[in-house]
Amino acid sequence: MEELWKLAGTPLLDSVARTAARYGEASRQPTGKRISAWKTGENVPSSFKELKPVLRALISMARARKGHPGGAQHLYSFEAWEALWSEAKESPVGHVKNIINTGILGLPIVSADPIELEVHPSIEIISAETNDNAPVLPLYVKRAHDHGLESIIDKSADHSSICVLVGGSSTGKTRACWEAVKSLGSHWRIWHPLTPSRHEALLNALRRKQISPYTVLWLNEIQFYLNPSPSNLGEEIAAELRELIKDPARGPVIILGTCWPEHWQTLTLRPDPTKPDLHSQARALLTGQHVLVPDEFLGEEIERLSREASRDRRLKEATAKGNRRVTQFLAGALELVNRYETLPIIARSLIHVMMDVRRLGYKGTISEEFLRSAVQGYMHEDVWAGVKRDWFKKAVKQSRKPCLGVSGPLRLRRVGAVGKPTYDLADYLDEIGRIVRREEFPPASFWTSSVKHLRDANGLLDLAYEAQIRGRLNYAALMYLQAANLGELEAILYVAEHRRAAGAIDEARKLFSHAADKGIEDAWLYLAQIEKDHGDEKAAARILGQVGDKALAARLAIYLTEPGQNKEHALRLLEQAFNLSPKKSLTDLDLSHDEGGLRDLLRQAWHSVEAMDEKFGALRVAAENLRNAEEERLEIEDDLIEEIKDDEESFAWISSHLLNQADNGDADALLLLAKAWRAVGDSGKAKQYMMIAINQGYADRVTGSNALAILADLEGSEEHPDLARQILCYGLEVDGSPASQWSVSIEE
């Protein structure tokens, strides 16, 4: 091993690399000729004995990466062996020994392939001037965000750091990261965690502390690492990454990531105080560590682009056709949109299914079975009646056809070496789908196929929630119950509580009882609440008697005790629960050895409740202030509508202004538009805007106007007095009409 450093910096570098390359070249020959060549000394320099230990060390370094230097395709490359040599020379002795003895993650940056790192390949420009030897990536033109990224890279020798580039699809985020890391020394490596899955690969390496100093941790699409399914693994990864950055003994390392704006918000925005904080570790890791990447070239960047365009035909074509959205054009994004819009109807419908399942939050794998079943409702009956037997194969082939050298709208994935194929959507079409399909609600075939074929429980919870906030309560219940069947048992509680609110008390009791039997403690609270609402204290006490866990029973007893009542009332509930006559004492309870023990337990639980009340006192005040502010806002809206409803000019101006706000995603503007048109007597337009708001996901807002309630009010009339309650209890059909009565059951 020490021979490596004795030779470092000597003229033998060329001999080392060329000997390695020649050895590889000889290995291509038939066995007899190869042995003969080495026996006779052909291609072997006189200094070979001196170089042998060096070659052995370099080969050990290559094997430690589980592959040849630069990948198998570079086995015979002088440059690849030279890169290994350069890394060995520039790295501390102990560092290279660690590489050889224990293995190391990643490849030297100089040997990495940007395409394998998910840098978008450029479109191909076919013309008489096409240069077959043109590089895979077009000439790079620096932009403002590159300077911010470079400043972080420049400081990497001193300490570990993290930077995430945030921008839309195909805006050049990954390419910018690649250009930045190329400036690092040859002793730096780059590791892109991928298998068995992205988050599993990263979490395993972090747990085992396998990420060595001088490593670029390449986390393209960082949400796959920090917001996987189940989400608790993402929090563990974020916490481990924070520890990695803080530990100087493990650095320096550079964590580079990319992210769409909507995923960035999910990971970094504080949730509503009434909801669980699912990403506190991710928020602590990421906040303040991002660089924004604009969708377009701006200002001086345009001039710089124009100057460089003469040196690269792809840039020239992009400036001519792509306007300022140059990176999207280069990545084939604009051609992707054109391809999607001109696909035959069945293939385009497949893309719509993919757009819907992704925009509604499902992150799991998409199977052929799901697509085959779901797509049927996206086409008219006449189209479906005329399809041929090989329709799916043909539609997939049309959707996968490359666009100017980059992948087509539909991407084929495969799970495992011999697994069934799965499908995904081109990134840019995923982003476009969130816009063009924003007001569309998927057909019934989408939801029935989801229940039958989708198997990611967390993804089904996301689909359930999206159906819920769009007023399709039946489909929400189906998704929640399927998620429960797949292990997310608490999903039963939503369905059961909704059935209780809809008046289906027997259904609710069965669902809550099933959840309680499965160990969901909150289900006992809901069961007790049902009896409490009906004023049946004895029935509530019987529920306490079913619990078995005296600590839980004590909490339930306190829960059923009305405000202002003392602990003795809770004790009486416990006595009733365990069938004790008034003359018997608590010492007769099988589950408690003495009255004092149970009283102590009750006292502790009561103190816990009091402490919780005190802790959340400020929160209740804040919530009340929020409600008051919301009520005041709604009053102002009503006053405004009252003032303008008889003034045509003012009404037209306000309507136009609200429409512009609605087009920019302002749901309140849609709700106000609906109220305004209702005020002037046009219920048709009012319903139209309410349905737009509902289909965008505003049927069940926490604060302000509830879109489903407003629609119910609009639909209710003297002729149909029960229609409003029907909508509130059962929601809407796919087409937005009031849903018929429905019921649910749970698989035992």
Structure confidence by residue, pLDDT tens digits, 561-589: 665 556 666 666 666 666 544 444 444 44
Give residue 646's pLDDT.
Answer: 81
Higher pLDDT, 179 or 549: 179
Residue 535: strand, helix, or coil: coil
HSE-CB for 737 with a 13 A CA cutoff:
3
The mean per-residue pLDDT over the stretch 172-190 comes to: 89
Structure confidence by residue, pLDDT tens digits, 472-496: 999 999 999 999 888 888 888 888 8
Quote the tokens at residue 197: 């899955």
Higher pLDDT, 502 or 692: 692
Give residue 590's pLDDT.
Answer: 44
Closest alpha carbon to 271 in 244, 230, 231: 231
β-strand pairing of 290-292 with 253-259: unpaired
> Token match 């990224």: residue?
149
The full length of the chain comes to: 748
Q: Is the pTM of this model over 0.85?
A: no
The mean per-residue pLDDT over the stretch 680-709 comes to: 77
Give residue 565's pLDDT.
Answer: 58
The mean per-residue pLDDT over the stretch 536-544 comes to: 69
Give residue 357's pLDDT.
Answer: 95
Residue 26's pLDDT band, with cuts at 50, 70 and 90, is very low
Q: Is residue 53 pLDDT above 60, yes or no?
A: no
Quote the tokens at residue 747: 């698989």
Q: Is residue 261 pLDDT above 80, yes or no?
A: yes
Give residue 533's pLDDT.
Answer: 74
Q: Is residue 334 pLDDT above 80, yes or no?
A: no
β-strand pairing of 366-367 with 421-425: antiparallel
> Token match 């004895």: residue?
538
The answer to whether the beta carbons of residues 579 and 545 sit under 8 Å apart is yes
Residue 705, Cβ neighbours under 10 Å: how many?
Answer: 22
The mean per-residue pLDDT over the stretch 315-334 comes to: 75
Higher pLDDT, 505 or 580: 505
Higher pLDDT, 110 or 130: 110
Give residue 57's pLDDT.
Answer: 60
Quote the tokens at residue 470: 């769009």
Residue 452 CB partners (closer than 8 Å, separation 6+): 369, 370, 373
Give residue 619's pLDDT.
Answer: 64
Out of 34-48, 120-134, 213-227, 372-386, least confident range: 34-48
- For 200-269, give the DSSP string: HHHHHHHHTT---SSEEEEESSTHHHHS-SSHHHHHHHHHHHHHHHH-GGG--EEEEEEE-HHHHHHHHS
The answer to whether the beta carbons of residues 117 and 103 sit under 8 Å apart is no
* Strands, sheet with 366-367, edge to edge from the N-terminal-most edge strand: 366-367, 421-425, 410-414
Give residue 281's pLDDT.
Answer: 93
56-77: buried (b, 16+ CB within 10 Å) or exposed (e) per residue? ebbbbbbebbeebbbbeebbbb
Q: Is residue 18 pLDDT above 80, yes or no?
A: no
Out of 161-165, 236-240, 548-552, 595-599, least confident range: 595-599
Closest alpha carbon to 181 in 232, 252, 270: 252
Q: Torsions phi, psi of 259, nearest 5?
A: -165, 140
Structure confidence by residue, pLDDT tens digits, 119-153: 887 766 655 454 555 677 888 888 888 888 988 88
**What's the rounded Cα separation, in Å, for the pair 116 and 219?**
13
Nearest 10 degrees: CA dihedral of 406, 408, 409, 410?
-120
The answer to whether the beta carbons of residues 556 and 580 sit under 8 Å apart is no
The answer to whether the beta carbons of residues 484 and 491 sit under 8 Å apart is yes
Residue 300 CB partners (closer than 8 Å, separation 6+): none
The mean per-residue pLDDT over the stretch 206-230 comes to: 90
601-633: buried (b, 16+ CB within 10 Å) or exposed (e) per residue? bbeebbeeeeeeeeeeeeeeeeeeeeeeeeeee
Give residue 353's pLDDT.
Answer: 96
Residue 374 CB partners (closer than 8 Å, separation 6+): 353, 357, 442, 445, 446, 449, 450
The answer to whether the beta carbons of residues 471 and 365 sit under 8 Å apart is no
Residue 372: strand, helix, or coil: helix
Structure confidence by residue, pLDDT tens digits, 395-439: 999 999 877 667 789 988 765 555 678 899 988 888 889 888 988
Task: Report which DSSP code applies to 130.
Answer: -
Q: Is residue 592 pLDDT above 50, yes or no?
A: no
Give residue 60's pLDDT.
Answer: 58
**What's the rounded Cα separation, in Å, for the pair 578 and 554?**
12
Residue 635's pLDDT band, with cuts at 50, 70 and 90, is confident
- For helices 522-533 and 491-501, what crossing angle results, to 10°? 10
Structure confidence by residue, pLDDT tens digits, 713-731: 777 665 677 888 888 888 8
β-strand pairing of 215-219 with 253-259: parallel
Percent of the chain with pLDDT over 90: 22
Q: Is residue 68 pLDDT above 90, yes or no?
A: no
- For helices 173-181 and 144-154, what crossing angle results, to 10°? 40
Give, for 527, the enclosing helix (H) or strand (E). helix 522-533
The answer to whether the beta carbons of residues 491 and 464 sit under 8 Å apart is yes
> Token match 């020994």: residue?
97
Give the mean pLDDT of the chain: 76
The answer to whether the beta carbons of residues 523 and 515 sit under 8 Å apart is yes
Residue 620's pLDDT band, with cuts at 50, 70 and 90, is low
Q: Is residue 679 pLDDT above 90, yes or no?
A: no
The mean per-residue pLDDT over the stretch 441-469 comes to: 93
Out of 126-140, 167-181, 290-304, 628-642, least confident range: 126-140
End-to-end CA distance of the chain: 65
Give residue 604's pLDDT.
Answer: 66
Residue 79 one-letter amino acid: E
Give residue 1's pLDDT.
Answer: 37
**What's the rounded Cα separation, in Å, for the pair 465 and 458?**
11
Residue 724, Cβ neighbours under 10 Å: how many?
Answer: 18
The answer to whether the beta carbons of residues 266 and 272 sit under 8 Å apart is no
Out of 70-74, 182-186, 635-639, 652-656, least confident range: 70-74
Percent of the chain with pLDDT over 70: 69
> Which residues on adjacent β-strands are paired with residue 424?
411
Residue 44's pLDDT band, with cuts at 50, 70 and 90, is very low
Residue 37's pLDDT band, with cuts at 50, 70 and 90, is very low
**What's the rounded Cα separation, in Å, for the pair 51 and 16?**
6
Out of 143-152, 441-450, 591-600, 696-705, least confident range: 591-600
> Token match 């895979």: residue?
136
